[in-house]
Structure 1
Amino acid sequence: MRPTLTIGEFATLTHLSVRTLRRYHEAGLLEPAYVDPATGYRYYTSQQIPTAQVIHRLRQLDVPLAEIRSVLATDDPHRRAEVIAGHARRLEKELARTQAAVVSLRRLLNPEPPSIDVELRSLPRRTVAAITGRVEFGRSLAWYDEAMAELDAAFPPAERTGPPGGQYANALFTHGAGTMTVYRPVREPRASGRIEVIELAPAELAVTVHAGPHDDLDVTYGRLGDWVVTHALTVDGPVHESYLVGPRDTTDSDEWRTEIGWPVFRVTPSVGQDSGREIHTTR
């Protein structure tokens, strides 16, 4: 006696096309209960309807076929939950990246960009505790987190004298790999593990502050770069960042403040210069 449902009937009940059901069969996700050896017709049972619907929902979420097989192959509900939860977390991260890209694109497409405040600043020579490494751009965020965690562990808040910062070689952006240095100003810098005591060279910088999440930091970089090209002479040197407020201070990304410093060459001081600082606003 043949199974209850033809492939067409099963397709109607599950809202899956015949073509999709054939593809699920070929992929080993949902095999028919019976295949007529003479005609090749596929037949299904009503008990397979929930399985078909689960597969369909998982595919709508772009769960890879291998993970779907893992979900269907186990009778352990906890294992099933782990696989699905893991993919859900990846989807949430991808959604966050997509949303950040949309925000950045809207800023770029805004025909009336907001004003940008730029400060010309002279930084003195400073001695700091730092970690330096050559890093692939794709690993830069992970490397930064690891290095900052090591610095934080070595120097508790009572020893710190200012916000953390970083210097990033141009090659990191232009060639996909370059030298990164992250540091903390502390009362008594000392070496430990990867941590070194280094002197940061004096620098002349055009500085602006990026407000909010780091996802569209590149937009602020672009606007600062445009200002520098128009108003100053650029020089070779690492880009400077100072994390006035960041993820280590608050989970509210709207409160984050990242200071970006672009190396420049100042020919003459401007009127109103005070202690090496000049404020410029463009609109």
Structure 2
Amino acid sequence: MKRTHLPLNGLRVLDAAARYLSFTRAADELAVTPAAVGQQIRTLEDVLGVVLFRRTAKGLELTPEGAAGLDALRRGFLEFEEAVRAMQSQQSSKRLTIAAPRDLTARWLAARLAAYGRTDDELGFHLIAADDAIDFTQANLDLAICLSADKGEHEGVMVGGTGYVTVGIDAAPDRAIGWPGCPQTDNDPVITVADAGLAIDAAAAGLGQATVPALLAEADIAAGRVKALAAKEGEKAYWLIAPVPQWRQKKVKALVAALVG
């Protein structure tokens, strides 16, 4: 069934004016001018085809037609407010769903989520593996992390910069280890693996040298698993991204601040 178009602004003005029986006091509540209230009421009367208020010697008076629907109108506004609270309930939750590459989760993200989680017992995380086409609607995501040249169509912020590092061990031969998306090298890869994290593992095993995002290699270099052999700037970086509605959520802003800071 086709729904009737509701003049919601006019109905909100009617509610306020009926409570105060004063356009001036209604205007104060609604933060508009009395003239604007009067215009809204006249427009609503034209739409409904009834007179809602009359001016008398005692002041403003609500007509029977105007009074007839007030109880139902106010119940309706209460239902609207309840609907808004229901829609916002997930925003008040502190559980976040995050999509990220597996190697970044293992080497960088998990430790930072653990540290952030210790700041608030109510925080919770649902991690899923990111793929090339992140669908925020289908996965009900709050935030995603991707390795890309920019943030694309979403809101976002870069984390870790565009620095890349070539890693290996002392005895590592000068042979490249390839992975999807790795920067171009002078040598053909001696081995190709599924992601940059596995490239670091292959370098640690002595199979060759891997050029990977510096952010991803930080922990392995600090632990002495591999050595930083060279540095360069790359075209891609890790981006924290989300559509505007998710990006504006308080819980997402707090998480982004914790990860970037």
- Tell me the TM-score normalised to structure 2 length: 0.28
- Radius of gyration: which is bigger? 2
